[in-house]
Amino acid sequence: MFDTLQIQPVPISRRDSFNTRDKQTRELKPFYSGDIKILLLENISQKAVDILNKAGYQVEFHTKALDKDALIEKIKDVHVVGIRSKTKLTQEVLSHANKLIAIGCFCIGTNQVDLTYAASRGICVFNSPFSNSRSVAELVIAEIILLARQLGDRSREMHDGVWNKVSNNCYEIRGKTLGIIGYGHIGTQLGVLAESLGMHVIWYDILPLMPIGMSTAVESLDEVLAEADFVSCHVPETPETKKMIGARELALMKPGSYLINASRGTVVDIDALAVSLKSGHLAGAAVDVYPKEPLANGPGFESPLRNCPNTLLTPHIGGSTEEAQRMIGIEVATAATKFVNTGASINAVNFAECDLRAIPSTDRTTVRIVNVHQNVPGVLRQINNILADYNVNKQISDSKGDVAYFMADVTVEDTKDINTIYEHVTAIGENIITRVLF
């Protein structure tokens, strides 16, 4: 049986990735896991590095993003790449990723990745939609207080040697109305924190959601803008949210109100926002994200919002806390490791979410077939015809868009049949990637 199976080293690629099991615990783990190469960019948390190293992978770590040419060269030979928000994994870049099977976005957003093209290449994308929610919510609370007291301007004046003690147009936030656009994980936490400070919370979301605490849902975006003293945006980047806050929406806001954007840089028309701030219609704004952001720290940041009155500008640091980065590192590195080792795609962004229960430690003859294929009629029939001569213990299949994902645990008594199954499945015309885990 497999206890004495001797397997010769084989090159591991996206289309030729054989894996072996731990003889004691029956855990699925890549064969020759030292050949699994991981590229981590943009100073990913050390906790993620530790998890991936512990899995036996070769981890290459960089503190900054790479330019396009360097990225293309590096990505040719890796199986997993980990990024944050600056690295752009476009179709052009991914077309050179001959061995890539997974991308880990160590952040909430995934708009920096061409998700559709990645899926068409059999590349599974993971992110961390929850881990930095508290950090972002706390930053927004701080910005609400700073804006209400004009502390950004007062601090800059003091650094310039100007003493300017004023109370005009400075307010407590207690009793004020906070309008939240997008009542997801960050929006809900923000609402709870705001209520604890005595604010009244209203919110708008395109989905019907359960309100938390004493918050109130309103029927439209315009209603939030018209009623709130502070408006905070927490929506993803989609075609529908691009410049969803423009000149018209800013004009609908109450005179003397404040706008905060810690979501995506394309959500707010910053040219229109600058006009509204300079005219005095808005009393202030806090912006953490921008349509175009520098690839590296240093001078050279340009924005029409610079030097606008009572305007807080921060360099996309909403989720940049030690706590958030540690939790993001754990979440994404664990998901990527599980995908490489077991094929589980739970919490994937661009794949259907599939998983199978663990194989018992006493089972020494089961292998796991993991297959990505084009979502067209007839493929499952072809796969099941190939497996018809074997005992299929369990299987699952689901699809997302044009790509389908299939997993099956199959009893194979003769080890020669492993290659037979693999070769026959990969020969299917609609096959994208097939892996055999054992």
- What is the three-class DSSP state of 322? helix
β-sheet with 37-40: strand ranges across: 58-61, 37-40, 80-83, 102-105, 124-126
Count of CB atoms situated within 10 Å of the CB of 219: 8
Single out the catalytic residue among 264, 368, 373, 435.
264
| Catalytic-residue membership of 293 | yes
The DSSP element (H or E) to which 323 belongs, if any, is helix 322-342
Single out the catalytic residue among 73, 92, 293, 323.
293
| Catalytic-residue membership of 316 | yes
Alpha carbon separation from 251 to 179, 240, 282, 352, 376 (Å, rounded): 16, 20, 9, 42, 49
Residues 6+ apart with CB under 8 A from 50: none
Characterise 274 by phi-psi region: left (phi > 0), alpha (psi -120 to 50), beta (else): alpha
The helix-helix angle for 133-148 and 185-196 (nearest 10°) equals 50
Residues 6+ apart with CB under 8 A from 90: 114
CA angle, 9 as apex, 8 and 15 as ends, to 5°? 115
| Catalytic-residue membership of 373 | no
- The answer to whether 77 and 304 have CB atoms below 8 angstroms apart is no
Single out the catalytic residue among 316, 368, 373, 435.
316
The residues that are catalytic are 264, 293, 316
